[in-house]
Amino acid sequence: MKILFIQPPLEVNRKHKRILPLGIGYLLAVIRKEFPEISLKFLDMESGNLTTDYAMNFIGEFAPEILMISCWTPMADYAFEIMTAAKKKFGDKIIIISGGVHPTIFPAECLEYADFVVKHEGELTITELLRFLSGCRDLNANAILQSASDLLSVKGLAFKQNGRVIFSGD
């Protein structure tokens, strides 16, 4: 399995310091420890002043099954742009997981673009979700979401089923 993590750009920060993505670093460390067989990459669009086109080329070259995007509210429009482009280009062949401050506060909005939202601190939730996904025969987002009752055991997760937002609980 391949996972790509993206930190979108923070436009309001262009003239100031760059943000060190500690939360993403924690998640990458947990995934590396719990799933050493998973191939992980991280694309920091914030510190590299990278465009959505660059991100889409990077996604295409790496070909991840899972795309994870973490964002704050000022990054949300860029995150939505990337998620929209990824779904348009790769369809259900890529599972999109969103997390961070904005998705935690506005999961319904983020689920217009992502397949899953990890709310609050994500280390345990992402570990449980990846265990669940690694047990799936097919990593097709629609197929997984259609049989999503098993996902309720993954606490801290929001997803849509039949147009309705479901939260698995804290």
Q: Could you read off the pLDDT tens digit of each residue along the chain, which spans 170 residues?
A: 999 999 998 776 555 666 677 889 999 999 999 999 999 999 998 877 788 999 999 999 999 999 999 998 988 999 999 999 999 999 888 999 999 999 999 999 999 999 999 999 899 999 999 999 988 877 777 777 776 678 888 999 999 988 899 999 98
Site of tokens 């992502």: 114
CA distance 20 to 63: 25
Cβ-based neighbour number of residue 105 at 10 Å = 11
Q: What is the pTM of this model?
A: 0.92
Q: Which two tokens stand for residue 103?
A: 């998705």
CB proximity list for 13: less than 8 A, separation 6 or greater: 19, 46
CA distance 170 to 168: 7
